[in-house]
Structure 1
Amino acid sequence: MVQLSRRLSAVANLVTITGILADVGTDHGYIPVFLAGQKRIQRAIAMDVNQGPLERAKEHIRQYELEDRIETRLSDGLNALKPKEAEGIVIAGMGGNLMKRILMQGEEVAKTAKELILQPQSEIMEFRRFLWESGYVITAEDMVLEDGKYYPMMRATYRSNRKNEPDILAFKYGEKLLEQKHPVLRQYLQWQKKQKEQILEKLQQNAKQDVSSRTQELKQELAYITRGLEMIDGADEK
C-alpha cells in the first residue's frame, strides 16, 4: 500500500467520513489512494487544476487497481464538484489565501460537506479567523513536524449556530491544539520563543534607528507565546 509522509498521514487521519471524499489539489492522488486502498472510504474524486498532476494521480490509481473507486476531474478548486456530491473535502498543501479563495468561490459546495479537512501552508492565523467568520467550526486539529517545518491541520464543519468569537490564541495557535496540550505545538512555541527573543536582543543591541515599533511587536508576540505555553504547561512556564 502507498506510504504517506508524516504530514499527509496526519491529514488522512483527520478524515472520519466513510462515503465519498473529494481531494482538491490532489497532485499524485496519495490521500485518495491511501484511504480507498484501506477501505476507509467508499469512493473518491481526485481533482486538480492542472492536467499533469491528474496524470500522475491516474498512474497511482492504476498501480493500486483502484480505477473503479477513484475518479479524476480537472477542476479549478471546487468548480467540478456538485453540492452534496462529497461527504468530505480535503484541501491540503497550499497557501492559506488560495484555500480561502477556493472555499469562497465554492461556498455552495463546501458548506454542504459533512467535513472539511484543511491543511494551509501559510497565513494560518488569518485562515482560522476566515473559517470562523464564514460560519465554520473547527472540530479537531493536529500538528506535525516534518523536514524541519511545522504543519498544522484541522477538521471543520459548517454550522449556522456558533459560540462567541474565540480568543486570539485560538486563531494564532489552534484552540483544539491548546486544549490537547499538543506536544508539537509546545515544541513550536518554544522554538518561536527562542527565535523572537534572539531577534529582540539583536534589535536592541544593534539599533541605529528607531526600533520601538518593531520592539513592541516582538514583545507582544512573546506575550502571546508565553500565554500559549502556560495553557500547555501550566502557569509556571517562563
Structure 2
Amino acid sequence: MDTLPLDARLQAAAELIRAGWHADIGSDHATLPIWLLKSGRADRVIVVEKTTGPLEVARRAVTQAGLSGRTELRLGDGLEPLLTHELESVSLTGMGARTMLGILERGRAAGRVPAVLVVQPNDGAGLLRSWARTHGYRLVAERMVSGFWRYPVLRLERCGGPDTEHDPAYDGLPEAAALWYGPHLLRQVHPLLVQELRAQLSRLEPLERHARPQLLTDLATVRSALAWLKQAAPQEPDGAEPRQ
C-alpha cells in the first residue's frame, strides 16, 4: 500500500474504522482519510474543517494522493456539513474531550447523530464514555497507545431497543473506574493502563492528607481500578501484553 504510515494514535483509530462512508472531523492534513481509502477500510471519505487554511492543506494532500474522486472536502463546524446518509461513521481525533463533546452535542441538537463514532481524545476519555452511555451508544472496543501522552481510542456504536443506557461492557466492573479508565482496557489488564494508574497513584497519594473532595474521589477511583486489576490478574507482570 503506497501511503504514509500513521502514528500510533491514528493507527489505533484507523483499525477501529471500516465503513462505506466515513467522515473525519478536524482532519488537518487528511492523513487518516487518505490511509482509510488506500487501505480499503473506507470507500468514500468526507473531510470537514472549520477554517479555510486547514481545509486547503487537506485538499492539497488529497489531490497529491490521487484521491479527489473519492473525497469530499467541506468547510463547517463539526457535524453541521454532513447529511443524514453521511453519518454512517465519524471520527474525531487529536482534540480535547470537552471539544469533542461540544461537537457531538451541537450535532445532536441539529439531528445529526452518527451511527458509529471513533474518538481519540488528547486527555481522559471518561467524559466521552459517560456521554455515550446516556445517549444510546455502546462502547464496543478500546485501544490505548503511547505518544506524547497515553492516548485512549474508543469505538462507539448506537444501539436500538428499550434498554439503550445499559452497556454490557461495564457489567461486573467498579462503575467509576470503568467509566474513567475504560472497561475493555481494565478487562485486558492493559499494560499502559497499569502504568497510567500507578502514575496517578504516585501523584495523588502524597496529597491525600490535605486533599480537596474531588482529589479524594479521584484517588478512590484509581485505587478501585487497581484493586480490580489485582483481583483479575494477580500474577500479571507490568510489561505483559494486553489480554484479548
TM interval, short-chain normalised: 0.7 to 0.9
Structure 1 position 102, deviation (Å): 1.1
Q: 1:162 aligns with which of 161, 164, 169?
A: 164
Contact 1:45 1:72 in 2 (8 A): yes
Match of 2:227 in 1: 227
Q: CA deviation at 1:226?
A: 2.2
Matched, 1:193 2:201: yes
CA distance in 2, matches of 1:236, 1:88: 36
* Equivalent in the alignment of 1:10: 12
- Contact 1:178 1:232 (8 Å CA) reproduced: no
> Residue type matched to 2:18 in 1?
T
**Aligned counterpart, 1:91:** 92
Distance in 2, matches of 1:144 and 1:236, equals 19
- Of residues 184-193 and 74-83 in structure 1, the stretch that sits farther from structure 2 once superposed is 184-193
- Could you tell me how far apart the structure 1 residues matched to 2:42 and 2:218 are? 45
Instruction: Indicate how the Cα distance of structure 1 residues 61 and 230 shifts in structure 2: closer, same or farther if over 3 A, else same.
Output: same
Which among 157, 172, 190 is matched to residue 180 of structure 2?
172
Write out per-residue CA displacement over residues 180-217 of structure 1, whole angstroms, 9 at most, x where no aligned residue.
Answer: 222221222222222323x33xx75xxxxxx2546744
1:40-55 → structure 2 map (5 Å cutoff) = 40-55=41-56
Change (3 A) 1:46 1:231: farther
State the partner residue of 2:63.
62
Q: CA deviation at 1:146?
A: 0.7
Question: Matched residues in 2 for 1:23 and 1:212: separation?
Answer: 41
CA distance 1:58–1:232, shift in 2 (3 Å): farther
Hey, what does 1:207 align to over in structure 2? none
Q: Residue type matched to 1:154 in 2?
A: L
Moved more, 48-57 or 119-128: 119-128
Give the deviation of 1:235 after TM superposition: 8.6
The size of the alignment, in residue pairs, is: 224
SS of 2:5's partner is coil
What is the one-letter code of the residue matched to 1:156?
L
Provide the rounded CA distance (Å) in 1 between the counterparts of 2:236 and 2:23: 45
Deviations 1:128-147 (A, max 9, x none): 11111111111100011113
TM-score, scaled to structure 2: 0.83
Cα distance, 1:8 vs. partner? Answer: 0.8
Change (3 A) 1:172 1:212: closer
Q: Which runs of 5+ in 1 are unaligned?
A: 205-210
- Runs of 4+ in structure 1 off by over 6 angstroms are none
Deviation at 1:225, TM superposition (A): 4.0
Q: Which protein shows a greater Rg?
A: 1
Amino acid in structure 1 at the alignment position of 2:196 = Y
1:56–1:133 CA distance, 2 compared to 1 (3 A): same
Identity over aligned pairs, percent: 31
Q: How does 1:99-138 map to 2 (within 5 A)?
A: 99-107=100-108, 108-111=111-114, 113=115, 115-138=116-139
> Could you tell me how far apart the structure 2 residues matched to 1:14 and 1:110 are?
18
Following superposition, the deviation at residue 228 of structure 1 comes to 4.5
CA offset digits 1:113-169 (Å, max 9, x no partner): 2x111112235212211111111111100011113x111010001113336474122
What's the secondary structure of 1:2's corresponding residue? coil
Counterpart of 2:192? 184
Secondary structure in 1 aligned to 2:85? coil
Q: Closer, same or farther in 2 for the Cα pair 1:7/1:236, shift >3 Å?
A: closer
